[in-house]
Amino acid sequence: MTYRSPLYCLLFIFFLISGCADEPVAPKAFVEIRTRLTADPDRINPMISSSGYATEVYKLIHLPLLEYHPITLELEPIIAAGLPVETPIDTGILAGGMAYTYEIRPEATWDDGTPITGHDYMFTLKAAFNPLVKANAWRGSLSFIHDVIIEPDNPRRFVVLTTERYFLGMPATGNFNLYPAHIYDPHGLMTDIPLSALTHTESAETLANTDPRLAEFAAMFTSDAYSRDTTFVQGAGPYRLVRWETGQEIVLERKSSWWGDLITTGGDQFTALPDRIRYKIIADEQAALTLLHDGGLDVVGELTPAAFHDLQADTLDKSGFDTYLPVYMQYYFIALNNHNPKLSDPNVRRALAHCMDLDLGIQSVLEGLGERIIGPFHPSKAYYNRNIKPVPFDPEKARQLLTSAGWTDTNGNGTVDKMIEGRVVEMQLTMLLAAGSELGRNLGLLLQQGARQAGIEITLETKDFKLILGDMGRGQYDLTALRNRKPPTDDDPYQNWHSDSDIPGGSNRIGYNSTVADSLILAIRNAPDQKTRYRLYQTFQEVIAADQPVIFLYAPKEPVISRKAVKGLVPSPLRPGYYLPFLTLQT
């Protein structure tokens, strides 16, 4: 046996440890995920954006108190330390209302280290209720809020006071993106204006006309700087905007010291794996697929069913890609301008609905990947009214309805006409289609062909989607194909269907007005229980079906294709069908 002295053993251990310490540690691989947007967002400012493309970007920059999990759809605390404490208000001027007590996580900070507090929450509400800020959609969903009380000794804790016990009170008070007050209002223009003066419409309008600070703030907040400038677009999320080249790409980079990294027990919504996310703006589907095949993209959604089936049939391509079919919480429809004299009669709108051979379209255009719908609610909802039948394709019935509305072909040119204000008006309409949307064009052609059989001439016009939204906001359109994203909660039809939202910048862009529908919408919001609310939903769908304010189409399954190297992709019912922060690349 060979003897080793204690000194030898100590030296051996020393060199062993020294050798281990000198071993190089492999650096974490930099992960960039490249994906596609079919069009530029209108702006990256959640409060005043009206584009779904913007949502896909800003939800990684801005965060709310509470957020729906992208897979389970459970409402979870993010900036908030937990779900709010709900306390009914039974006395005083707010009797019948509710108090929601929130506390913000102590770790939560803005990019410069400033703590996120109730004052940022208060500021966000003040911005939304400023009548000179075009935030009608936000004001509609927040209209039941009266005031916010911030604890003097703990500004992270505050109470939201409401005027009613709204059935969506928790998500309404917690699921909107917060803004850093010191960044978006650096001069403190809104600081001394009481929130309670803004939450009441009359006093808010008076302030807008008498206090120049509201106009000054609105001009600054809605400027391009706070919608696309990398210096000013800031939020509490894990990513920051580093570049936006219109028509080319939008680039986000992960923050190196994001406060969410300190949260170890908050669930996987604090996961943010990619170091960089690059959105390439590609309208043409074939161009996007070519780039995917060539390795220039990692994941592509919003594809036509034909692309999905082509890849499924190509075993060579299939070996390098994964395909998914998420069921989205959304539906497609053709918006009709109800203010247009040609489309103001429900009989004319129903005639147009009879011109759409949607059963053929679902099989030929969608290759079966869609379910027909009858109204403004997703068919997965328990209160979806299956007693209402979809409008069948019937050009002859369409002609009968047009005749009953006074539209006949008096000059024999094949197009029905009508005397309006002393002149003959032909039933000629223009359907706006988003540039690069093959699906929208196919749906337009389907309607165009059916409408011609009924004596309606439809011209298809392709435009940039942002321009279409602008035309709709001004009421300068006839019809256009759109989609409506649905919330994971029960529906509140107020924003999209109540006449209060039929204003410039409002969400009721079709101009639908019905006193019956208005009363039902308010009854839904104030229903005492779920059973009553669900019964009101059923009646509301019957009213909408009778008025036919739009042509309801289908709820889709839209394919998602990713490279095999992409890991962590789980289909999501929320667009774009996957959650980018969960993705990484196999090295």
Q: What is the CATH number of the domain that holds 473?
A: 3.10.105.10
Residues 362, 462: one domain? yes
Write down the pLDDT at residue 317. Answer: 62
d(CA 109, CA 104): 10
Residues 100, 179: one domain? yes
Residues 122, 190: one domain? yes
Residues 415, 522: one domain? yes
Residues 223, 268: one domain? no
Of 193, 228, 263, the last residue of a domain is 228
Residue 444 CB neighbours (<10 A):
23
Query: Positive or negative CA dihedral for 346, 329, 62, 236?
Result: positive
Residues 314, 369: one domain? no
> 573 lies in a domain?
yes
pLDDT digits (tens, 9 = 90+) for 11-61: 333 333 344 444 555 567 899 999 999 999 999 999 999 888 999 999 999
Residue 472 CB neighbours (<10 A):
19
> 374 lies in a domain?
yes
> 460 lies in a domain?
yes
Residues 116, 91: one domain? yes
DSSP category for residue 261: G
44: phi then psi, degrees, rounded to nearest 5: -110, 75
Nearest CA to 301 out of 530, 54, 505, 576 is that of 576
Residue pair 378/331 in contact by the 8 Å Cβ criterion: yes
Residues 118, 212: one domain? yes
Residues 131, 185: one domain? yes
Residues 390, 525: one domain? yes
> 4 lies in a domain?
no
- State how far the alpha carbon of 528 is from the alpha carbons of 11, 262, 519, 521, 534, in Å: 80, 41, 15, 14, 11
Domain count for the chain: 3
Nearest CA to 120 out of 168, 62, 57 is that of 62
d(CA 126, CA 124): 5
Which residue type is seen at 173? T
Q: What is the C-alpha R_g of the chain?
A: 27
Residue 420 CB neighbours (<10 A):
11
d(CA 136, CA 335): 19
Write down the pLDDT at residue 310. Answer: 76
Where the chain has pLDDT below 70, the residues are: 1-27, 313-318
Write down the pLDDT at residue 51. Answer: 85
Q: Which domain holds residue 73?
A: 62-228
Write down the pLDDT at residue 400. Answer: 98
> 476 lies in a domain?
yes
> 26 lies in a domain?
no
pLDDT digits (tens, 9 = 90+) for 248-293: 999 999 999 999 999 998 889 999 999 999 999 999 888 999 999 9
> 27 lies in a domain?
no
Residue pair 314/466 in contact by the 8 Å Cβ criterion: no
pLDDT digits (tens, 9 = 90+) for 394-409: 999 999 999 999 999 9
Of 184, 203, 228, the last residue of a domain is 228
Write down the pLDDT at residue 506. Answer: 83
Q: What is the CATH number of the domain that holds 575?
A: 3.40.190.10
Interior/surface letters 183-200, b for 16+ CB within 10 angstroms, e for the rest: bbbeeebbeebebebbbe
For 400, residues 6+ apart whose C-beta sits below 8 A from its C-beta are: none
> 52 lies in a domain?
no
Burial of 522 (0-12, 13-18, 19+ CB in 10 A): middle
Of 173, 208, 228, the last residue of a domain is 228
